[in-house]
Structure 1
Amino acid sequence: MNETIGKFGHPATLIAEYEHWVVLLRPAQPTLGALVLAAKSDATAFGDLPAEAHAELKIATAAIEAALTQAVGYAKINYLMLMMVDPNVHFHVLPRYDGERSGAGLTIGDAGWPAQPDLGQAVKLDEAQTAALVGWLKPYFA
């Protein structure tokens, strides 16, 4: 695993794993069910990923969208590839919705809806909340 995956709390945040990608719970939740889709590669540029990782991206994103549709019932989904702080290829995956959503004992609103996500309003999870949300989301990926 690369530095970026570790920074996002792997293995405690691991929800699903593929040959070239991992799906992690985002430790700060701007919306309920926010994830990180991270390449296992050490690549720091999207175009440097192997072709197989690009092909597998279709499988991983389809699984994410199906799972978050069931878990959160989002209206839109945002994939943000910012890579300004964490160097390895990854996306912040934000389910977007009007109002609030609840799961695993947490209720989180989408403060930026219907415009850009407001990452500054993210709920920072403690260890117990992280474990609860990971446990809640994992079955949607089975």
Structure 2
Amino acid sequence: MNATIEKFGFPATLVAEFEHWVVLLRPAQPTLGALVLAAKSDATAFGDLPADAHAELKTVTAAIEAALTQAVGYAKINYLMLMMVDPHVHFHVLPRYDGERSGAGLTVADAGWPGQPDLGQAVKLADAQIAALTGWLKPYFA
């Protein structure tokens, strides 16, 4: 695994794993169920990923959207590829909704709805909350 994956708490934050990608719980939750979709590759440019990683995105994004539909009941979903601090290819996946959503003992409001996500309002998770949310989300990917 590359350094970006490790920075986002792997393996404790691992929700689902695919051949070329991992789906991680985002340790700071701007919306409930926020994830990081990270390429296992050491590539630092999206276009440098192997063709098989691009092809697998269809499967991975479908799995993410199905899981978050069940878990959170989002209205929209944002895939943000910022890569300003963490260099390896990854997306921040934010389910978007009006109001609040609750799961695994945590309630999170979408502070930016209906505009851009407000990353500054993210709920920073303690280790026990990471374990609880990761455990709550994993079955939706089964």
TM-score, normalised to structure 2's length? 1.00
Q: What displacement does 1:36 show?
A: 0.1
Q: What displacement does 1:29 show?
A: 0.1
1:72 maps onto 2:51 in alignment: no
Identity %: 89
Aligned equivalents of 1:8 and 1:101: distance in 2?
Answer: 22
Residue aligning to 1:62: 62
What does the per-residue CA deviation read over 1:35-68, in whole Å, with 9 as the maximum and x for residues that have no partner?
Answer: 0000000000000000000000110000000000
* 3-state SS of 2:134 partner: helix
Q: What displacement does 1:14 show?
A: 0.1
TM-score, normalised to structure 1's length? 1.00
For structure 2, which runs of at least 5 residues remain unmatched after alignment?
none
Q: How many residues are paired up? A: 142
What does the per-residue CA deviation read over 1:57-110, in whole Å, with 9 as the maximum and x for residues that have no partner?
Answer: 110000000000000000000000000000000000000000000000000000
> Superposed, which structure 2 residues align to 1:16-55 within 5 Å?
16-55=16-55
* 3-state SS of 1:33 partner: coil
* 3-state SS of 1:132 partner: helix
Q: Which amino acid aligns with 1:118?
A: D
Aligned equivalents of 2:35 and 2:76: distance in 1?
Answer: 14
1:118 maps onto 2:124 in alignment: no
Q: Which amino acid aligns with 2:136?
A: W
Residue aligning to 1:130: 130
1:81 maps onto 2:81 in alignment: yes
* 3-state SS of 2:111 partner: coil
What is the root-mean-square deviation in Å for CA atoms of aligned residues?
Answer: 0.2
Q: What displacement does 1:134 show?
A: 0.2
Aligned equivalents of 1:101 and 1:131: distance in 2?
Answer: 18
Aligned equivalents of 2:137 and 2:40: distance in 1?
Answer: 21
Q: What displacement does 1:140 show?
A: 0.1
For structure 1, which runs of at least 5 residues remain unmatched after alignment?
none
